């Protein structure tokens, strides 16, 4: 019984620790979400607080008077409407008894704490959406991500299938050369690659960004090869007995069995394309109609440098699609990353 209770406490303690760590990692997201629905005036205030709020007012004789907390001589504190502002003496209206004469208070009214109420500025989201034509940016980014992901998954899967299932001269040497390209810094190939694409007239189009993924990627090939190697070869042999060739075996046997790895590679590439900034910046310069979301957000930040709330709202809008895709395919994504194979 004692061991059982100890085990339960250990599980609860581990769960609490994981939740605490998760909360620490999610704090910037929560802070950004709070900033996105604040007003510009609240953000500019010295003590803006975490909750979106605005100063409360009281309507008196057609005027909106600010409500403040006023300490009274009897030691109590009341919420009064500030009618007359002076350095050493101010006049207040009691919202409970507005017909009563104005109350005189000695002191500097600037030292009084204003009364606030929750006031989320949901209009920041439609304003951000309409300012930079979010729909066009989303369409460009989705087109870039989908086509590149299809090319990456298809080419990497075929290359991985070849390395995992077939024997040919120089197989190991070619695989080592392929994996060695992972450590090659992108800055080394940047200028030659750009010069090549410029020479063939592809600069200013989507081709330099969408065509290379159809020629596989070393990291993705390695991930899918390791997963395919865990699939029993008996399945290939059974398909061969039934008359299936290598291509049919790949699409009908390997791909369904390697679905977690396929989803993981697809999500990795899609998220990379969704956040890619440098590639579209150098290849699509001078063509704003082709700009993806990453370029559009940068332009938006330059336009609204002083309005952090709008920048945060636009950033959160850009995160919606990746988050939805990730949570929808979370199970396959995790399985693909840890490379869990099928039972033999």
pLDDT on residue 1 = 55
Q: In whole angstroms, what is the distance from residue 114 CA to residue 221 CA?
A: 61
Helix (H, G, I), strand (E, B) or coil at 75: coil
pLDDT on residue 340 = 40
Claim: this prediction has a pTM higher than 0.75? yes
pLDDT on residue 4 = 67
Residues 6 or more apart whose Cβ sits within 8 Å of residue 137: 291, 292, 293, 296
38 backbone dihedrals φ, ψ, rounded to 5°: -100, 160
| Average pLDDT, consecutive stretches of 10 residues, N- to C-terminus, the chain (344 residues) | 67 83 84 85 73 85 87 84 85 86 84 84 88 87 94 94 91 91 87 93 93 92 90 87 88 88 90 92 89 88 82 87 81 57 41
Q: In whole angstroms, what is the distance from residue 103 CA to residue 70 CA?
A: 11
pLDDT on residue 53 = 84
pLDDT on residue 338 = 54
């Amino acid at each position: 019984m004692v061991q059982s209770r100890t085990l339960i406490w250990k599980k609860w303690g581990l769960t609490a620790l994981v939740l605490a760590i998760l909360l620490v990692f999610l704090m910037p997201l929560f802070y950004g979400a709070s900033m996105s629905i604040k007003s510009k005036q609240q953000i500019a205030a010295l003590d803006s607080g975490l909750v979106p709020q605005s100063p409360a007012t009281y309507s008196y004789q057609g005027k909106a008077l600010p409500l403040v907390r006023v300490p009274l001589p009897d030691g109590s504190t009341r919420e009064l409407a500030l009618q007359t502002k002076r350095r050493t003496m101010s006049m207040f209206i009691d919202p409970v008894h507005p017909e009563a004469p104005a109350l005189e208070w000695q002191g500097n009214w600037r030292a009084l704490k204003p009364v606030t109420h929750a006031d989320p500025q949901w209009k920041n989201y439609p304003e951000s959406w309409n300012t930079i034509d979010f729909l066009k940016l989303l369409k460009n980014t989705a087109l870039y991500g989908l086509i590149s992901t299809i090319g990456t998954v298809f080419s990497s899967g075929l290359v991985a299938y070849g390395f995992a299932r077939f024997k040919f001269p120089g197989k190991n040497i070619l695989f080592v050369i392929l994996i060695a390209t992972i450590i090659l810094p992108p800055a080394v190939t940047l200028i030659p690659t750009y010069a090549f694409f410029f020479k063939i007239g592809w600069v200013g189009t989507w081709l330099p960004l969408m065509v290379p993924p159809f020629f596989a990627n070393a990291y993705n090939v390695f991930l899918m090869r390791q997963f395919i190697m865990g699939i029993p070869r008996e399945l290939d042999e059974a398909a061969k007995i039934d008359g299936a060739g290598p291509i049919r075996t790949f699409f009908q046997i390997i791909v369904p069995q390697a679905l977690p790895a396929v989803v993981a590679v697809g999500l990795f590439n899609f998220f990379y394309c969704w956040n890619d900034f440098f590639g579209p910046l150098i290849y699509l310069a001078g063509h704003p109609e082709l700009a993806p979301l990453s370029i559009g957000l940068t332009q938006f930040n330059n336009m609204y440098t002083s309005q952090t709330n709008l920048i945060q709202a636009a950033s959160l809008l850009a995160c919606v699609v990746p988050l939805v895709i990730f949570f929808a395919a979370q199970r396959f994504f995790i399985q693909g990353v840890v490379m869990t194979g099928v039972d033999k």
